[in-house]
Homo-oligomer: A and B are copies of this chain.
Amino acid sequence: MRMSDLSRQTGVPVPTIKFYLRERLLPPGEPAGRNQAIYGEAHLRRLWLVRAFTTIGQLDLTSVRTLLAAIESQMLSLPGLFDVVNRTMLPQLDPRPAEATALGSARKDVEGLIDEYGWRVDPDAPVAIHLAQVLAALRRLGCDCEMDFFAAYAKAAEQLIMLELDMLSPERPDHAAAVARSVLLEVALCAMRRMAQEHHLALRFG
């Protein structure tokens, strides 16, 4: 198909497609005469993927480029791929010295949670430190939650992730689908939570 077809099918304007081509977020089409190129199904899928990352995933183009490169790397195992994904998607929080004590105590609690669940997660991994920062902020704001409250979160998260990973073929996991599903299902989970919140707030306080 031509670029105009690609644009019509996806709703992405032609200038945006040209921009993605220049930025190498989309591979070049097959040359077909002067100033013309033909695009295939792979381009269509890639365009939907970029669009899902930028609109629903709210990722900037640098992050999208990092994710695409990781998806295409033949060198990465699935755990290695998601190490890149999680590092790319976590906000970089810059801990200030004023918060060191609170953070230290929260990090111990997160380590306890990891132990309790027998998770093979490095307590110094970015995602563990991130969770500790959230925990420290909750305490600082007087919104303290006991660790058994978080245990309910951990249990639910684990159940959902197992369902999600069941969708991957053990022999030939599709890396692009795995990353897309992970990014989008996180957003879906948050949307579900807000819908349930809307309902239960109305029941209790409406």
Contact = CB atoms under 8 A, between A and B. Distances in A.
Chain A interface size, as a band, is: 35 or more
For the complex of A and B, list the 5 residue pairs with the smallest distance between their C-beta atoms, beginning with the closest: A11-B96, A11-B98, A157-B192, A119-B199, A131-B191
Interface of A: 8-12, 45, 48-49, 51-52, 55-56, 58, 77-79, 82-83, 86, 90-91, 93-94, 96-99, 114, 117, 119-121, 125, 127-128, 130-131, 133-135, 137-138, 140-143, 145, 149-150, 152-154, 156-165, 167-168, 170, 173, 176-177, 180-182, 184-206
19 contacts: A8-B98, A11-B96, A11-B98, A49-B141, A52-B140, A58-B91, A78-B205, A79-B205, A82-B197, A121-B199, A134-B188, A143-B167, A143-B184, A153-B188, A153-B189, A154-B195, A161-B197, A161-B200, A189-B189
